[in-house]
Each structure stands twice: as C-alpha cells, then as structure tokens.
Amino acid sequence: MGKAIGMVELSSIARGIETSDSMVKAAQVELLRSVTVCPGKYMVIIGGDTGAVRAAMEAGRQKGAQYVVDTLLIPSVHEQVFPAISGTVEVTNPQAVGVVEFYSIASAIQAADAAVKAAQVTLIEVRTGYAIGGKGFVVLTGDVGAVRAAVEAAKQAGELFVESTVIPRPAPQLLKSLL
C-alpha cells in the first residue's frame, strides 16, 4: 500500500490532545500536525502507510467520539502534500502563484493533493485553520498554464470553496513573503 494522510478535527482541545496520543499509539504513523485551530478546535494530521493510517484514524474516531467534527483520509497522497502541511517546503524557482481557499481544512488538503496530481506545480503551503477562522488554503507555484490547471483541479476537488486566484508574475516582495 502507498503513503496516506489522515486528519481528525475535533471540537474539544482536551479530547483532541488525547485523540492525538491514541492515534500515534494505535499504529506506526508520523504525526504531521497536532494543534489547536480556530475557532477553538483541535486538529490531528498523520501520515504513513495506508493500512497504518486507516488503523490510527479508526482509533481517533473512537477516542474523539462525539467531539469529532470532520475526518479525512487520502489513501495515495502525493508526496508534496506532507511537507506543504508541515511548512518545510523550499522553493528554488518560484514562478506564477496560485491560491485556493476553502471554508474547510479537509477540503484544502484534498485540493492540494488534486492540484499536484493534475499539473506540474510545486506546493508552497497548505495552511490549516490556525489564525484564519478555521479555513484552509493552498498556495502553489509553477508556470502559468500549470498553475491555472492545478487551481481548477483544486477547486473541483475540495468542498466549501471560497475563492481562488492566479498571479502570473508576482512581485518579488510577495514571493519573499510566501516563501
């Protein structure tokens, strides 16, 4: 089985922390994010082999119980999604920039995966909920045509779409702030 990503979003911070612990103890998974998100929720994102992620997600749903707000499982996630969520991407040749915004964290992660599978682009960031009212957004770069195709694929893949933009020639100051 391939690499997978899973997410559990909870309405209780205390239960979220406990759920995070249960998930990483349930299976051999990597804890990508375990953080509070706006407005006062908690999010756990894990990655690893598909079977392990499925097992950890089941443990998370059970432990989170009535506090689970949303879940996500992408069985064969694109390799760029993990570093984009973790904030560890180094972009060496930024070009056009695309941004796709959603009301949902899960939608942003799904959209990021669809975008990089649809076109030759580089994910810069997948922002998940913190300090943005629980929203999620994707920032990516590549040549203009690829960015447009990736943005379209992202819009189709994620639910609760808000807005998107493609900036063909971003100002150097903008690129610096995004990278």
> Does residue 19 carry a pLDDT above 90?
yes
CB atoms within 10 A of CB 62: 12
CB contact at 8 A, 87 and 128? no
CATH level 2 (architecture), domain 81-178: 2-Layer Sandwich (3.30)
Residue-wise pLDDT for 71-116, tens only, equals: 999 999 999 998 998 888 888 889 999 999 998 888 999 999 999 9
Q: What is the predicted pLDDT for the residue at 4?
A: 95
Average pLDDT over residues 143-165: 94
- 84 burial level (CB within 10 Å; 0-12, 13-18, 19+): buried
Cα(75)–Cα(83) distance, integer angstroms: 17
Describe the crossing of helices 144-157 and 105-118 by its angle, rounded to 10 degrees: 140
81-178 matches 3-74 in CATH topology: yes
Domain boundaries of the chain, sorted by first residue: 3-74, 81-178
Give the model's confidence band at 159: pLDDT under 50 very low, under 70 low, under 90 confident, else very high: confident
Q: What is the predicted pLDDT for the residue at 38?
A: 83
Under CATH, what is the fold of the domain 3-74?
A: Alpha-Beta Plaits (3.30.70)
Pairing outcome for strands 3-10 and 68-74: antiparallel
Q: What is the predicted pLDDT for the residue at 131?
A: 66
> Does residue 135 carry a pLDDT above 90?
no
Query: What percent of the chain stands above pLDDT 90?
Result: 75
CB contact at 8 A, 80 and 117? no
Average pLDDT over residues 15-36: 95
> Does residue 151 carry a pLDDT above 90?
yes
